[in-house]
């Protein structure tokens, strides 16, 4: 019995010891947090409304990326652009493309019936549609009324360009207008073509989705004239989301009924579009002639949200500016450009791609002033800043930071070619 008693006590002690060790391990894994006295935290019973959450998010800091395409791709040179344009022009003469374009001509009578059934025509598809629409205007529209061609792909094409075209119509400039305001100009155009003695108006719009035709005045004018019973619009569009420019009501709006002269203009606005696929595979030769694609973005037009610091300057633009400045200004630019190229080459692996971050390779103003004074370029602070001002106005030299640092916002290859041009002139 004594042995059994000893065994029982030993088992109980072992069980108790094992349970204590198990509890100790659990307490080590999940330590308990001490309870706090008092009310619960504030955020458990105060909830922000959706209104407050929206404005708290909208007023937050907006972070913008510096990884712009203009800082990753070197702009085209004029020679490269001319070579590309020559290949595009040669491609437009391909016999298969000419046969495809001629196949669209067979639908001209169908388009003509749709125009006079109360619709305006919007053509979409891959390739330039300019030649096909021009042929339609010559073959059908010109012999039946006035034709106004609006080249939306050109810079400056907008409200004033449309009004200038209307003024070329015989008798239009003789019509009265209440004032020079753009609302009265729209009313004047609408009233003029109410008179059946005047031929109908056919408006051919190339690239109606262009930026020049998106302002309120241009949209109001076109949407009013588009519903005129004696005005017809034939337009082309190349952007895939062009239809998003208008509401469904504007797209499906019906033409205004015929009204007498002097009556109020109907308030409805729209376009009464019928969409047609006009794929031609023709290159955009004429459309690209008016654009400066030798810079990304073009000089003076930075991308939305992009700083002018990251804008790539083109070689022709820089050479043009340098040709009009004084000899001392050329030597100053040469001094800064030489130092910047040396700093970029010394940077090694830290060398940047494009023009983003070039300020790290710039030259401090005090150092530049000392070098300019030694070279007899500028002997005073006023003279140096006067020389720099000419380049800063054209965006060829940037200044910023503390202490003041100056740099050229252009790639190393462009700066090197510009330096060669300067050395040939000096």
Q: Measured on CA atoms in the order 395, 401, 407, 412, is the torsion positive or negative? A: negative
Sheet architecture: strand order including 363-364: 363-364, 405-407, 398-400
Look at domain 93-282 and name its CATH class: alpha beta
Alpha helices in 47-94 (DSSP H): 50-58, 69-72, 78-91
201 strand-pairing partners? 146, 231
**Neighbour-count burial of 30, counting CB atoms closer than 10 A to its CB (0-12 exposed, 13-18 middle, 19+ buried):** exposed
pLDDT digits (tens, 9 = 90+) for 96-134: 988 998 899 999 999 999 999 999 999 999 999 999 999
Quick one: how many helices (H) and strands (E) in the chain? Answer: 17, 8
Least Cα distance to 416 among 77, 84, 69 occurs for 77
Q: What stretches of 290-326 show up as alpha helix (H) in DSSP? A: 315-322
Q: Which residue has the tokens 């020079």?
A: 180
Q: What pLDDT is stored for residue 17 in this prediction?
A: 53
> Is residue 192 very low, low, confident or very high in pLDDT (cuts 50, 70, 90)?
very high
Dihedral of CA 400/406/407/409: which sign?
positive
Between 95 and 37, the more confident residue is 95
What does the alpha-carbon distance between residue 307 and residue 226 come to, in Å, rounded to a whole number? 39
Cβ atoms of 167 and 173 within 8 Å: the answer is: yes
| Options 1.10.10.10, 3.40.50.1100, 3.30.300.30, 3.40.50.1820; CATH of 308-425 | 1.10.10.10
What's the mean pLDDT in 279-286?
88
Task: Tell me the average pLDDT across 50-59.
Answer: 67
Tokens of 42: 């504030």
Q: Which range is least confidently modeled, 74-88, 175-189, 371-385?
A: 74-88
Give the range with max mean pLDDT: 65-79, 201-215, 404-418. Answer: 201-215
- Position 6 pLDDT exceeds 50: no
- Write down the pTM of the prediction: 0.57
As a whole number of angstroms, the distance between CA 269 and CA 287 comes to 29
Order of all β-strands in the sheet with 145-151: 145-151, 200-206, 231-236, 120-124, 273-277
What is the average per-residue pLDDT within 13-39? 53
pLDDT band at 55 (very low <50, low <70, confident <90, very high): low
Rounded distance, CA 9 to CA 4, Å? 9
**254: confidence class by pLDDT, cuts 50, 70, 90:** very high
- Spatial distance between the Cα atoms of 109 and 124, rounded to a whole number of angstroms: 19
3 state SS of 131: helix
Q: Which two tokens stand for residue 379?
A: 């002997």
| Domain-wise residue ranges, the chain | 93-282, 308-425
Q: Which two tokens stand for residue 180?
A: 């020079």
Q: How many CA atoms lie within 13 A of 372 on its CB side?
A: 27
Helix (H, G, I), strand (E, B) or coil at 115: helix
Q: What is the mean pLDDT of residues 157-181?
A: 85
Which CA distances in Å does 18 have to 5, 7, 220? 20, 17, 87
């Amino acid at each position: 019995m004594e042995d059994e008693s000893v065994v029982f006590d030993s088992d109980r002690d072992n069980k108790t010891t094992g349970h204590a060790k198990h509890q100790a391990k659990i307490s080590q894994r999940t330590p308990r947090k001490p309870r706090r006295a008092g009310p619960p935290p504030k955020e458990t019973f105060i909830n922000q409304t959706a209104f407050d959450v929206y404005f708290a998010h909208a007023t937050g800091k907006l972070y913008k990326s510096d990884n712009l395409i203009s800082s990753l791709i070197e702009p085209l040179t004029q020679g490269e652009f001319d070579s590309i344009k020559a290949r595009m022009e040669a491609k437009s003469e391909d016999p298969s493309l000419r046969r495809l374009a001629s196949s669209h001509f067979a639908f001209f009578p169908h388009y003509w019936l749709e125009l006079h059934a109360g619709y305006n025509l919007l053509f979409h598809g891959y390739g330039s549609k300019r030649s096909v629409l021009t042929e339609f205007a010559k073959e059908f529209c010109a012999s039946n009324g006035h034709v106004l061609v609006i080249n939306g792909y050109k810079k400056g094409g907008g409200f004033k360009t449309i009004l200038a075209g209307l003024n070329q119509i015989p008798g239009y400039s003789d019509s009265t207008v209440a004032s020079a305001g753009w609302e009265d100009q729209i009313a004047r155009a609408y009233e003029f073509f109410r008179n059946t003695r005047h031929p109908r108006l056919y408006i051919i719009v190339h690239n109606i989705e262009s930026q020049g035709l998106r302002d309120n005045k241009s949209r109001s004018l076109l949407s009013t004239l588009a519903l005129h019973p004696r005005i017809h619009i034939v337009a082309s569009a190349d952007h895939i989301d062009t239809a998003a420019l208008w509401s469904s009501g504007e797209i499906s709006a019906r033409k205004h009924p015929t009204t007498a002269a002097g009556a109020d203009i109907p308030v409805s606005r729209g376009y009464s579009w019928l969409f047609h696929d006009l794929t031609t595979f023709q290159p955009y030769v004429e459309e690209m002639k008016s654009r400066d694609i030798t810079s990304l973005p073009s000089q003076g037009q930075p991308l939305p949200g992009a700083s002018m610091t990251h804008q790539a300057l083109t070689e022709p633009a820089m050479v043009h500016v340098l040709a009009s400045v004084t000899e001392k200004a050329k030597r100053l630019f040469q001094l800064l450009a030489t130092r910047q190229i040396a700093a970029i080459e010394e940077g090694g692996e830290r060398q940047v791609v494009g023009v983003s971050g070039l300020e790290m390779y710039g030259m401090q103003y005090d150092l530049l002033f000392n070098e300019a004074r030694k070279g007899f370029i500028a002997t005073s602070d006023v003279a140096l800043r006067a020389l720099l001002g000419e380049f800063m106005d054209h965006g060829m030299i940037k200044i910023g930071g503390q202490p003041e640092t100056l740099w050229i916002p252009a790639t190393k290859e462009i700066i090197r070619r510009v330096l060669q041009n300067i050395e040939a002139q000096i």
